[in-house]
Amino acid sequence: MLRLTQYTLCPHSRSVRLALAELRLDFELNYEEPWAWRQSFLSLNPSGALPVLEIDEVLVLCGTYAISEYLSECYPEHPDDGGPVPLFPGDPEQRAEIRRLVDWFHLKFDREITRELLIEKHYRRTVGEKGRPPDSQILRAVGKNLRYHMDYICFQVDRNNWLAGEQLSFADLAAAAHISVLDYLGEIPWDDYPSAMEWYVRLKSRPSFQPVLEDYMSIQPPTSHYANLDF
């Protein structure tokens, strides 16, 4: 039995949800608020970071990198049909490029965009700062950063079929996890980035993505087009 401890709008959690779903593995979601620092959660992962994957109540894997690499090593072929696994396919050079892009999104994109937007537009209303408006200076900086990153996504998919090459990989899942959080918040001007939009539509249309598109938080519902496959 697989049990994934995660938070709905945590992009790192979402990337692992997508990876598990691409492998068509059955797993249970366990909701955890990342700011709560509950002792029961810290006993699983002393760093307090999400996500955490428990396997058969025996093995505990902490963090996106440990989980994704573990899944890649355990499933060199798809458990259902023996086909390719969309995590780290290809030769060593191709896998290195996938890991570079995973780092790009889970570190650089997260630091420059996702984390700041979640703090300013989600966590404040969630943890009791509803009367405090978002910091306009931070939002301007995030908007500038977003243009750069969206242009980079367009550049990558214009020269490849997917972000890291001809095959879907964990780089796409990591990137889409962040993009889906921003799209939930209504922060992406899609008309300005047609290549990125086409790439994201392909991902949204995959069966693995449907549970993510069904995410709904009553304290902050998604933007109206969030679950639409054609925007």
In a domain, 137, yes or no: yes
Mean pLDDT over 6-17 rounds to 99
pLDDT at 161: 93
In a domain, 146, yes or no: yes
Total H helices, total E strands in the chain: 10, 4
In a domain, 114, yes or no: yes
Q: Residue-wise over 187-196: b if at least 16 C-beta within 10 A, else e?
A: bbeeeebeeb
In a domain, 228, yes or no: no
In a domain, 9, yes or no: no
Question: Above 90 in pLDDT, residue 85?
Answer: no
Q: What is the pTM of this model?
A: 0.96
Give the pLDDT confidence of 53-69 residue by residue, as tens digits.
999 989 999 999 999 99
**Do 54 and 44 form a contact (C-beta atoms < 8 A)?**
yes
In a domain, 225, yes or no: no
Share of the chain above pLDDT 90, in %: 87
**Do 164 and 98 form a contact (C-beta atoms < 8 A)?**
yes
pLDDT at 128: 66
pLDDT at 131: 63
Mean pLDDT over 199-222 rounds to 97
Give the pLDDT confidence of 164-174 residue by residue, as tens digits.
999 999 999 99
Give the pLDDT confidence of 96-147 residue by residue, as tens digits.
999 999 999 999 999 999 999 999 999 987 776 666 788 999 999 999 999 9
Mean pLDDT over 177-191 rounds to 98
Q: How many domains does the chain have?
A: 1
- Residues counted in the chain: 231
In a domain, 5, yes or no: no
Q: What is the CATH number of the domain that holds 123?
A: 1.20.1050.10
Mean pLDDT over 196-205 rounds to 98
pLDDT at 179: 99
By DSSP bridging, strand 59-62 and strand 52-55 are antiparallel
Give the pLDDT confidence of 24-39 residue by residue, as tens digits.
999 999 999 999 999 9
Going by pLDDT thresholds of 50, 70 and 90, the confidence category of residue 81 is: confident
Mean pLDDT over 7-16 rounds to 99
Three-class DSSP labels, 150-162? HHHHHHHHHHCCC
pLDDT at 115: 98
- 115 lies in which domain range? 92-208
pLDDT at 33: 95
**Do 38 and 32 form a contact (C-beta atoms < 8 A)?**
yes
- Residue 97's identity, in one-letter code, is E
Q: Give the distance from CA 5 to its chain's centroid.
A: 14
In a domain, 20, yes or no: no
